[in-house]
Structure 1
Amino acid sequence: MFGTSGIRGEFGTDVTAGLALCVGRALASDGRGRVVVGRDPRDTGPLLVDALTAGLRECGADVVRLGEVPTPTVARSVEWYDADAGVTVTASHNPPEDNGIKLWSADGSAVVGDEQDDIVERLKRDDYDTKRWDEIGNTRTESNARRRHVDAIVDAVTVDPPLSVVVDVGNGSGRLTSDVLRQLGCEVETMNALPDGEFPSRPSEPTAQNCEGLQRVVAESDADMGVAHDGDADRMMAVTETGRFVPGDVLLALFARQQAVPRARVAVPIDVSMAVQDELSQVGAETTYTKVGDGHVAARTTEHDVVFGGEPSGAWIWPTVTRCPDGPLAAAKLAALVTNHGSLDALVDDVHQVPIRRENIRTDAKREVVERVRAMVADRYENVTTVDGVRVDHDDGWFLVRASGTEPLVRVTAEARDGDRMESLLDSALDLVTTAADTVDAETSPA
């Protein structure tokens, strides 16, 4: 039911008003007395928020409704409004026909582990503590959460001298980034800033391909950099002043290097590039690996010597500020980094990149395919790790096969310090997935 970023799937089949109602009931029945609720711009969001709110109130929880706001605004609002939990109705970077439910703990981090398991078990048991008519929860609307978010970032970041920045909102919830940067003194041009849950301007995920428009605008202007968000603005990706898309691993290396000190650690998922460790080793710091998913990265940042956490997909966590991925904060942090060093192009060129490629294979049997790959590699390779999918390490590189936690995909990553070797490892991994998928199809097809 829960993936790496909460519940997510096609509205009406995987994600329904009935499910939202039950999630609300489960949260309140587990003792959450006050819950903040927000959503991204998807057309189905208001309906799901209404159902979720009904479930919360039915079991006695008070609800603070934030309206359409970025996911990190919801996570931060848990503390601001003295709540016990937060919920964002969002499918993040997924297509418009999808929606989802992401849960936030009392400390503003994503719900994972035992806390998530308790909710799942209650949902499976259909076990809810519904209240009498005179004991139901109250509801109120707060309209200043967005402003509090802007003010919090402006208080935490300085951009001096200010920059010229292009912000591609992607028709999502991230338009407050332009407010943040303007208050920090920057000159800002926005793209695709009108919220629209159908994401008409570009697909929601801020990949290099989907950000080609941003790259052109920045390259043809005098802007110092460009930033792009996904639908709920927990992710932030960047474009240099010459219009180059910055790979997520490089952006992670830049943020990590800025935060690191000797003997510090940076939390990263198991699919991150060796380039991050290369950069950290120069300052005497190191990586600590987690499962893929910002919740797992955030959980690791609770350890005292972990100073930063990030994923190459665009989730960045500064644990002394907030333990949720915060796209607007990341945009401001990147602007500060650029203004201190003069050029994002120069910063990117300073990171020694290691050849790495990521491919996706669509399948409705993603977990069965990965399990089949696990069985196939068990006797074929010596160094196999199964903490999250199947990772095979060699002396000169590695590949990883894992099921996406948010989409019907098997994700394949390969890396090696030599480009040809990387391609060879990727081909090996793709062959394994193809063979596994064919086997699973044959086993499940009618005779």
Structure 2
Amino acid sequence: MFGTSGIRGRIGDEVTCDLALSVGRALASDGYGTVVVGRDARESGRMLADAASSGVRECGADVIRLGEVATPTLARSVGWLDADAGLMVTASHNPAPDNGLKLWNPSGQAFGEDQREAISARVRDEEYDFADWDELGQQDRRDDPAEQHVDATERHADALVEAVGGGGLEIVVDAGNGMGGVTAEALRRLGHEVRTMNDRPDGTFPARPSEPTAENCRALSQFVEATDADLGIAHDGDADRMRAVTGSGEFVSGDLLLALFAREATSPGEEVAVPVDTSLTVADLLESQGVSVSRTRVGDVYVAERATDAGVAFGGEPSGAWIWPDETLCPDGPLAACRLAELVSRRGPLSSLVGDIESYPLRRGSVEVEEKAAVMAGVREAVLAEYDDVETLDGVRVGTDDGWFLIRASGTQPLVRVTAEARAERRADDLFAEASEVVEDAR
């Protein structure tokens, strides 16, 4: 039921009000006495949040409703409000017809594997502890304008200003019609001049697709290049991801941004948690500073789990999820934006900061398949028979003297992803073609 990033899928197909109701019931029945519920700007989120909240209350637990918020705002609010769990209704960077559910602990960390399985088991077995009519859970609507409460987004912005310094830059923030308004607010309070793009929340994502890729952020790159802006920031629909554009309009790769953040966040002897599809750029840069890399399965939930280990000072994914465990264990796009702005204001242009980091040719692609499990079983068998340096932590990763390739099933889509990297262009192409052929043969 749960993928690497919670439950996601098409509304009315994989994701329904019945499912949201069941997850709410399961949370309350599993002992989570107070649940914070929020949603992104997708219109379907209204009914899903209502259904999930009803399920929680039906089984005797209380609900605190936040309304439309960023995912990191919801994740942080669980601890702030002394709640036991958080339920965010979002499909993150997925397209508008999708929605989903993601569960959070008071620490800001997403539910771990055992917790997710416990909820899944209750839903599968319909094992719910319904409350008596006079013991139903209560609902506190923090999204009701008539109620006087400290706004969760306001509190998130306060936390960012308290955690980060800097100021004086001209920054363009592309919220992608999602929940990234907290970034613009925090940056303004920090003393930056901020202009926004696509800042009106709209779950149809009319301006650009939700995922902040280089292609989807071309308008941001062009606008930053055409103005005197020092930096461009882009978020996905729920603002857990953050990507960046230099003052000259260049979209910065996720691996370079990961290397930059990791270098700044660590000291010799510490570790950085990264997924298995991360570039050699990160490991090579950190090794020169006496910092080691600890590889995890792909997914911010796994990076966050590793970030709880002693000695891990930072965790990140090239897709745009950044975790500073001393601040929060959730990927916090607004925090990443503020920290990047601080770094640029203190040390100079982003183009210079990433320009001195050596990068290597890296190839990424996907193959659409009908049966991911069957294809991956064939891939694993073929690779183990052919290669010596093989890791199976997440998919199949093959190391060579001059590079590596990774074949793994997507956790949320009917795809098998192929990644290859080498220190020379032609070798990277060869490794990518080699890995792609393995997948095609297994289909």
Of all paired residues, the percent bearing the same amino acid is 57
Partners of 1:382 and 1:221 lie apart in 2 by: 52
Other-structure match for 2:11: 11
- Please give the per-residue CA displacement for 1:298-344, whole angstroms capped at 9, x wherever unaligned: 11111110000000000000000010000000000000111111110
Q: How does 1:74-113 map to 2 (within 5 A)?
A: 74-113=74-113
Contact 2:76 2:106 in 1 (8 A): no
Range 40-49 or range 108-117, more displaced: 108-117
**Cα distance in 2, alignment partners of residues 348 and 16 from structure 1:** 43
Corresponding residue number in structure 1 for 2:416: 410
Q: Where do 1:233-248 residues align within 5 Å?
A: 233-248=239-254
Partner residue of 2:154 out of 124, 147, 157? 147
State the match for 1:441 in structure 2.
Answer: none
CA contact (8 A) 2:403 2:423 kept: yes
CA distance in 2, matches of 1:79, 1:156: 17
Q: Which moved more, 1:62-71 or 1:382-391?
A: 382-391
Following superposition, which runs of at least 4 residues in structure 1 exceed 6 angstroms of deviation? none
Q: State the partner residue of 1:60.
A: 60
- Which of 372, 391, 412 is matched with 2:397 structurally? 391
CA displacement at 1:117 relative to structure 2: 1.4
Q: Partners of 1:67 and 1:85 in 2: how far apart? A: 16
Match of 2:126 in 1: 126
Measured in 2, the distance between the counterparts of 1:111 and 1:354 equals 35
Q: 2:166 aligns with which of 159, 166, 182?
A: 159
Determine whether 1:192 maps to 2:186: no
Asked whether 1:176 is paired with 2:182, we answer: yes
User: SS of 2:278's equivalent?
Assistant: coil
Q: Tell me the distance in 2 between the aligned counterparts of 1:106 and 1:368.
A: 37
CA distance in 1: counterparts of 2:288 and 2:384, whole angstroms = 35
Higher mean displacement: 374-383 or 172-181: 374-383
Q: CA deviation at 1:418?
A: 1.1
TM-score by length of 2: 0.97
Distance 1:364 1:74 in 2: 35
Counterpart for residue 70 of structure 2: 70
AA of the residue aligned to 1:406: T
The residue that corresponds to 1:225 in the other structure is 231
- Hey, what does 1:362 align to over in structure 2? 368
Deviation at 1:282, TM superposition (A): 2.1
Distance 1:96 1:367 in 2: 27
- 1:40 paired with 2:40, answer yes
Per the alignment, residue 281 of structure 2 pairs with: 275
Distance 1:366 1:201 in 2: 32
Counterpart in 2 of 1:287?
293
Cα distance, 1:408 vs. partner?
Answer: 2.0
Counterpart check, 1:382 vs 2:375:
no
1:345 offset after TM fit, Å?
Answer: 0.5
- Other-structure match for 2:437: 431
Deviations 1:29-58 (A, max 9, x none): 010000101011112000100100010001
1:426 is displaced (CA, Å) by: 0.3
Spell out the pairing of 1:207-222 with structure 2 (5 A cutoff): 207-222=213-228
* DSSP 3-state at the match of 1:379: helix
Give per-residue Cα distances to partners, 1:72-127, cap 9 Å, x unaligned.
Answer: 00000001110000011000000111100000012210112211111111122110
- 1:370-409 CA distance string (max 9 Å, x none): 2221122121111221111111111111111111112222
3-state DSSP of counterpart to 2:316: strand
Deviations 1:173-214 (A, max 9, x none): 111111010000101110011111111111110011111111
Q: What 5-or-longer segments of structure 2 have no aligned partner?
A: 144-150
Q: Identify the residue that residue 440 of structure 1 maps to in structure 2.
A: none
For 1:269 and 1:394, locate their aligned partners in 2 and report how far apart those are by CA, in whole Å.
18
Question: More deviation in 379-388 or 70-79?
Answer: 379-388
Determine if the alignment matches structure 1 residue 324 to structure 2 residue 340. Answer: no
Q: What SS does the aligned partner of 1:378 have?
A: helix
Secondary structure in structure 1 of the residue aligned to 2:386: coil
Instruction: For residue 365 of structure 2, give the secondary structure of its aligned residue in structure 1.
Output: strand
- Measure how far apart 1:229 and its partner are: 0.2
Gap runs ≥5 in structure 1: 438-447
| Conservation of the 8 A alpha-carbon contact between 2:211 and 2:236 | yes
* CA distance, structure 1, for counterparts of residue 222 and residue 206 of structure 2: 18
Structure 1 counterpart of 2:116, one-letter code: Q
Alignment-mate amino acid for residue 313 of structure 1: S
Shift of 1:258: 0.2
Out of 284, 291, 302, the residue aligned to residue 296 of structure 1 is 302
CA distance in structure 2 between the partners assigned to 1:319 and 1:409 by the alignment: 31
Partner amino acid, structure 2, of 1:74? L
Letter in 2 for 1:424: D
Residues 395-404 or 354-363, more deviating = 354-363
Q: How far apart, CA to CA, are the structure 2 residues paired with 1:306 and 1:383?
A: 26
Residue identity in the other structure for 2:131 = K
For 1:365 and 1:68, locate their aligned partners in 2 and report how far apart those are by CA, in whole Å. 36
Q: What's the TM-score once normalised by structure 1's chain length?
A: 0.96
Q: Counterparts of 1:371 and 1:207 in 2: how far apart (Å)? A: 30
Match for residue 352 of structure 1? 358
8 Å CA contact retained: 2:93, 2:210 = yes
State the Cα deviation string for residues 137-170 of structure 1 (Å, max 9, x = none). Answer: 000112400100000000000014x210000000
Deviation (angstroms), 1:367: 2.7
- Distance in 2 (CA, whole Å) between partners of 1:28 and 1:36 is 12
Count of paired positions: 436
Give the superposition deviation at 1:364: 3.3
